[in-house]
Chains A and B, each alone.
Chain A
């Protein structure tokens, strides 16, 4: 059974702080890892993906992958109130096309 686990939160951080969102997955055969942001009442929006161990940076966002620990994280630097949303971690396994999603972590950035 392939599973993706996230802390549901809510995670509350002050404006300007670093928000750290974590995700673990159950199967070492996973290939690609994705972070989506979902505002209330809206569909998921792709933030970034990562498939190699280490860090990948894109603006204020950094994805970190550790395949040995089966762990992927998303750091948001200089958090803004507009970053308040639910963040979904998704994993693609092998030749399967579909993604397995975690239930998401709700982030609240307080002004």
Chain B
């Protein structure tokens, strides 16, 4: 079946602009997660959705970052007034809300802020 998809695959933006990153999870996966990975670094948790609600927003690095999920499916991560330190690969994953909650990742969006 179809896996997690993300768009765009690459995004180059100027400092100060807003960007939107999209994630389409595996069909039937109620949980959706956003992480980011900076060059040579590990994965940093950003936010987690159960259905359309976000019980854990603790990882969002600043109030410039926000995310929403509608219809229990597609999610959008928005970064306002981008800064150079926002440059990273943004990864989305999804899982069922049962069993070991194994997460499956999308291909990621590489964001470069110039």
A contacts, CB < 8 Å to B: 32, 34, 36, 42-46, 49, 51, 88, 90, 92, 96-104
- B91 near A103 with CB under 8 A, answer no
Q: In the complex, how many residues of chain B place their beta carbon closer than 8 angstroms to a beta carbon of chain A?
A: 25
- A96 near B100 with CB under 8 A, answer no
- B56 near A34 with CB under 8 A, answer no
| Cβ contacts under 8 Å, A97 to chain B | 31, 33, 48, 50, 55-56, 95, 97, 101
- B106 near A98 with CB under 8 A, answer no
Task: Provide a sorted-by-A list of 5 A–B residue pairs whose CB atoms are within 8 angstroms.
Answer: A43-B89, A43-B105, A43-B106, A90-B43, A97-B101
- A88 near B43 with CB under 8 A, answer yes
- A99 near B45 with CB under 8 A, answer yes
Known: A88-B42, A97-B56. A34 touches B107 (CB 8 A): no
| Cβ contacts under 8 Å, B89 to chain A | 43
Mask: chain B, 72-104; 1 = CB below 8 Å from A; 0 = not: 000000000000000001010001010011111
| Cβ contacts under 8 Å, A104 to chain B | 42
Q: Does B59 contact A (CB under 8 A)?
A: yes
| SS of B interface (majority) | strand
| Cβ contacts under 8 Å, B50 to chain A | 97
- B42 near A44 with CB under 8 A, answer no
- The 7 A-B pairs at the shortest CB distance, nearest first, are namely A103-B42, A101-B43, A43-B105, A98-B45, A32-B100, A97-B48, A98-B48
For window 12-68 of B, CB contacts with A under 8 Å fall at 31, 33, 35, 41-43, 45, 48, 50, 55-56, 59
- A46 near B103 with CB under 8 A, answer yes
| Cβ contacts under 8 Å, A100 to chain B | 45
